[in-house]
Amino acid sequence: MSASATNETETPDLSAIARPPQVLNNRGPLWVTDAVCSIVEGKTPLWWYAGITVSGAFAAAGLACILYMIVTGVGVWGSNSPAFWAWDITNFIFWVSMAHAGSFISAVLFLTRQKWSLSVSRAAEAMTVFAIVCAGVYPAIHIGRVWFVWFLFPVPNNYGMWPNFSSPLLWDVFAVSSYLTVSSLFWFAGMIPDLAVLRDRATTKIRKFCYGVASLGWLGTARQWRHYESMYVLLAGLTAVLVVTVTTIVASDCATSVIPGWHATIFPFYFMAGAVYSGSATVLTLLIPLRALYPQLKDLITPSQLEKVAKLLLMMGSCVAYVYVFELFCAWYSGNAFERGAFWERFHGTAAWYAITCLTINLTVPQLFWFKRIRTCLPLVFVLAILCNVGMWFERFMIVTTSLLHDFLPSSWGNFHPSIVDILTATGTVGIFFTLFLLFIRFVPVMSMNELKAALPGAQPQHSGEEH
């Protein structure tokens, strides 16, 4: 390691163009292992208990509301005619989109050999899985007769009836479930070697057993590593495709309909941009505090990496902004009274403030990241990232509900007011999300140790190339 250090000092001209190191202060592999494992092995900090109590409470309240909704009727929500979908599908799209950024960061950046994403990817994947869990809640429960949800699955039944394969909602069922499966697999498979490390370091029998089972008896033999690496590439490839597919399918919920404000071919791209935008915002929202709470991670989650995520956010935020403008242009250019009306009402109707909030945030906040000063000031980035997600939620509502409020016949135009059940269910999903995330940082390595160590300077053999 010292050798490689000297190498760098000998060639100062390179240091100008040299990529910033992934791990600061020339930390070695042993240090990395200890740093990461210490989070799991060390004593549970107080803030963790505090955090999980709060998030757990919200989650419990949310689940209670869902139960009440199921036994009483969808009417306990504020949904009505014409807003047959409101916060339920809004939150579904919000969460499932947020999930995409996780897969995007880990899979796509892995395939493109973006080493900077190594320390971020594990947390991002976790975020993906948990976000999909939150998203999956809604399609399951928002229907009128939950107990017949099995009608959605193509199973032979005594009615002799089959689902309608041309319905975007049925596509959702398959898309979301496969997305959940694949992203969990991706997340879990990535953890196997690290779980093995925890198994080896485990002091108590229970931990040893649990991590032992979880790590499937991983030894790290050359053969295992060979299969493991090719699996990881394959999974990354599949996930990258899946991200795009799932977004497209979810977008088709809107795009295939006839409702002005929904019926637009740009929606897949629209949703993808928004997805990665809100997802990278969430990554920042999660990692910046994590880094602050666990000082040992400061060398692993480096400012330059966070800055790159911020740049990603800026790029995607700009894409979203482009779509906003493009949508309005299309509405105007279409010359179709209904299209124009829909967008006119979006900003004049009773629910205009949703759209206005959405645009104010999403058009301004990400643009602040053009300035390095802002982008690198982590506390500020943290706040702005949260704002971005707020804006994204409003965008989802704007798309889903305000479009419904003003469709073809003005006679059926309406308004929407959320009920307390709507609100508690929504906060409940947030609670579920954070509960799961807290459990995650407490019980599994928050970043991929093997990838990190493999990427350390001097981790790879110097003369391996010569062989054959």
Q: Which of residues 19-78 bind other proteins (CB under 8 A)?
A: 29-30, 33, 68, 71-76, 78
Tell me the backbone φ, ψ of residue 104, rounded to 5 degrees: -60, -50
- Interface with other proteins: number of residues (CB under 8 A): 122
Query: With binding defined as CB under 8 A, does residue 2 bind other proteins?
Result: no
Query: With binding defined as CB under 8 A, does residue 327 bind other proteins?
Result: no
CB of 326 to other proteins, least distance (A): 22
Query: With binding defined as CB under 8 A, does residue 218 bind other proteins?
Result: yes
Query: With binding defined as CB under 8 A, does residue 151 bind other proteins?
Result: yes
Q: Which residue in the set 241, 292, 325, 374 belongs to the binding site for other proteins (CB under 8 A)?
A: 241
Query: With binding defined as CB under 8 A, does residue 136 bind other proteins?
Result: no
Query: With binding defined as CB under 8 A, does residue 6 bind other proteins?
Result: no
Query: With binding defined as CB under 8 A, does residue 4 bind other proteins?
Result: no
Cα-Cα-Cα-Cα dihedral sign, residues 423, 82, 151, 133: negative
Nearest-angstrom CA–CA distance, 353 and 359: 10
Assess contact for 35 and 297: CB atoms under 8 A: yes
At 117 the three-state DSSP class reads: helix
CB atoms within 10 A of CB 167: 13
Q: Between 438 and 452, name the residue whose CB sits nearer to other proteins.
A: 452
Assess contact for 247 and 272: CB atoms under 8 A: yes
What secondary structure does DSSP assign to 98-116, as a single string?
A: HHHHHHIIIIIHHHTT-GG
Nearest-angstrom CA–CA distance, 344 and 358: 15
Only one of the segments 99-107, 169-177, 316-324, 439-447 lies at the binding site for other proteins (rule: CB under 8 A); that segment is 169-177
Nearest-angstrom CA–CA distance, 431 and 428: 5
x/- track of binding to other proteins for residues 350-389 (CB under 8 A): ----------------------------------------
CB of 272 to other proteins, least distance (A): 15
Residues 281-320 touching other proteins, rule: CB under 8 A, are: none
Q: Between 185 and 315, name the residue whose CB sits nearer to other proteins.
A: 185
Only one of the segments 15-23, 124-132, 181-189, 424-432 lies at the binding site for other proteins (rule: CB under 8 A); that segment is 181-189
Query: With binding defined as CB under 8 A, does residue 347 bind other proteins?
Result: no
Query: With binding defined as CB under 8 A, does residue 468 bind other proteins?
Result: yes
Q: Between 242 and 447, name the residue whose CB sits nearer to other proteins.
A: 242
Query: With binding defined as CB under 8 A, does residue 271 bind other proteins?
Result: no
Query: With binding defined as CB under 8 A, does residue 207 bind other proteins?
Result: no
Q: Between 295 and 410, name the residue whose CB sits nearer to other proteins.
A: 410
Nearest-angstrom CA–CA distance, 45 and 290: 12
Q: Which residue in the set 49, 229, 360, 372 belongs to the binding site for other proteins (CB under 8 A)?
A: 229
Q: Which residue in the set 197, 286, 301, 378 belongs to the binding site for other proteins (CB under 8 A)?
A: 197
Query: With binding defined as CB under 8 A, does residue 119 bind other proteins?
Result: no
Q: Which residue in the set 193, 274, 279, 317 belongs to the binding site for other proteins (CB under 8 A)?
A: 193
**How long, in residues, is the chain?**
468
CB of 153 to other proteins, least distance (A): 10
Q: How far is the CA of 410 from the CAs of 203, 334, 404, 414, 417, in angstroms?
A: 69, 20, 11, 9, 19
Q: Which residue in the set 326, 347, 413, 443 belongs to the binding site for other proteins (CB under 8 A)?
A: 413
CB of 316 to other proteins, least distance (A): 23
Q: Between 375 and 406, name the residue whose CB sits nearer to other proteins.
A: 406
- Single-letter residue type at 383: V
Task: Output the CA torsion 367→369→371→377 (10° steps).
Answer: 150
Query: With binding defined as CB under 8 A, does residue 9 bind other proteins?
Result: no
DSSP-H helix ranges across 104-167: 109-111, 118-141
Query: With binding defined as CB under 8 A, does residue 326 bind other proteins?
Result: no
Q: Which residue in the set 133, 185, 328, 383 belongs to the binding site for other proteins (CB under 8 A)?
A: 185
SS (H, E, C) 288-310: HHHHHHCHHHHHCCCHHHHHHHH
Query: With binding defined as CB under 8 A, does residue 338 bind other proteins?
Result: yes
Tell me the backbone φ, ψ of residue 380, rounded to 5 degrees: -65, -45
Nearest-angstrom CA–CA distance, 405 and 65: 25
Task: Output the CA torsion 135→435→386→87 (10° steps).
Answer: 30
Q: How far is the CA of 204 from the CAs of 43, 198, 446, 449, in angstroms?
A: 14, 11, 21, 22
Assess contact for 35 and 388: CB atoms under 8 A: no
Q: Between 235 and 441, name the residue whose CB sits nearer to other proteins.
A: 235
Query: With binding defined as CB under 8 A, does residue 111 bind other proteins?
Result: no
